[in-house]
Structure 1
């Protein structure tokens, strides 16, 4: 199967048409999952449950990324710009804040892959906060294609242990609240408003990846490394 997003997920957003960028669209998708458990609140490790994100780094400049683990454009963005972000985190110039959403659950043969991958990332954030960005990037290495069943829970756990993270398989098994949190993030991403550090920056998230640097949305192509590096450096 080719790496394309079918039906509504193939929609190119208006801003994307104007700039040459592409994204997996959330507009009009009626299959956004509804949380069935009580999401956690507060903070735990790298996870800010109230803010809807996981943090990597301590830099003054803030990079916020809304993503779905099954979205091929998110994978393209990560494979193109992941090293740039990793280096910026390592030199303490940026803090990356990851906002997992799950609207492509309906494209994983009933396995709820987007939700399960988001919950696995939370497990890492709680158990080894210094590996959050590494695990996020590992989710896009040999990324499962949209329309596949995605990675199994065992495979999600293995991607953590391959990075030297403690076994998260038990956490994944008990991750109902984390899954509910990711699903609630998805609902909020469509309902809005989207705030960064207490300031409204968008009415809603219309597609993934949506990338903001200090609250300003990156308008360029997900595969233009130079354009993103320049935007990040401004």
Structure 2
């Protein structure tokens, strides 16, 4: 009977060890279950992130492809030419059978073009009125290093020509040179061009969309390329009866018409 407490103590310790081991195994199992769950959640998040990134990439690619396709579509096919254009890339005033033909290639930001226009416009108008000359104007862009004003102004002339005819386009041409901004610094916006076109005789409802959307951008661009093929090195470039003439000499010839 004296040894019975020792047996009970040994049994208790064995039970405690077993219980401790069971709790340890339970914790390990719980930890393993949690780890497995976390791993599964992480994998699910990773798959979701890949799907999101893939979707974003797909959208971006679609936008890029769509933009490229739009540009290709816009720059392919026949060039839209303004109604009332009297040549492939210009517009004319005067009779076709006039004895003298004057062609003026100009950039609306070019100070020398404005000077030539100011020096010869009245004389050309008188020669046209008298039936002595036919004058053709070719808007081009060579001063795009100073921003997009040259292109926007030239396009605006195309829109006015398309909707209001050559006489209004000529008046707009005059006013653009009279109100010509400096090459450097800020340039007038599309609303300014629209207001000036309306002052020249165009209707805002007819021209706003074409000016804001650069309707005749390709016409101007290809007209500039054609002028370069004809020998244009700068502006103004003047042809009288098909022969390129120095602007000063051209002004003298025009004064004699």
The answer for the alignment partner of 2:92 in structure 1 is: 55
Distance across 1 between alignment mates of 2:159 and 2:101: 23
Matched positions, count? 178
Whether the aligned pair in 2 keeps the contact of 1:55 and 1:132 (CA below 8 Å) is no
Whether the aligned pair in 1 keeps the contact of 2:237 and 2:247 (CA below 8 Å) is no
Q: 1:207 aligns with which of 234, 245, 248?
A: 234
Residues 38-69 of structure 1: per-residue CA shift (max 9 Å, x gap): 56356621353xx2212222252221111100
Any unmatched runs of 5+ in structure 1?
1-35, 195-203
The answer for the alignment partner of 1:145 in structure 2 is: 182
Residues 3-60 of structure 1: per-residue CA shift (max 9 Å, x gap): xxxxxxxxxxxxxxxxxxxxxxxxxxxxxxxxx6356356621353xx2212222252
Residues 153-204 of structure 1: per-residue CA shift (max 9 Å, x gap): 111111111122211222212324x1121112223333x1x2xxxxxxxxx2
The answer for the alignment partner of 1:136 in structure 2 is: 173
Report the structure, 1 or 2, having the larger helix content.
2
Report the structure, 1 or 2, having the larger strand content.
1
Query: What is the TM-score when the length of structure 2 is the normalising length?
Result: 0.62
Q: 1:143 to 1:77 in 2, by over 3 A?
A: same
Any unmatched runs of 5+ in structure 2?
1-73
RMSD: 2.2
Q: How does 1:123-202 map to 2 (within 5 A)?
A: 123-129=159-165, 130-167=167-204, 168-176=207-215, 178-190=216-228, 192=229, 194=230
Q: 1:45 to 1:220 in 2, by over 3 A?
A: closer
Whether the aligned pair in 2 keeps the contact of 1:57 and 1:94 (CA below 8 Å) is yes
Whether the aligned pair in 1 keeps the contact of 2:80 and 2:218 (CA below 8 Å) is no
Q: How does 1:40-119 map to 2 (within 5 A)?
A: 40-41=79-80, 44-46=83-85, 48=87, 51-59=88-96, 60=98, 61-108=100-147, 112-119=148-155
Whether the aligned pair in 1 keeps the contact of 2:142 and 2:234 (CA below 8 Å) is no
| 4+ runs deviating over 4 angstroms | 224-227
Specify the SS of the correspondent of 2:178: coil
Q: Tell which structure's C-alpha radius of gyration is larger.
A: 2
Query: What is the TM-score when the length of structure 1 is the normalising length?
Result: 0.68
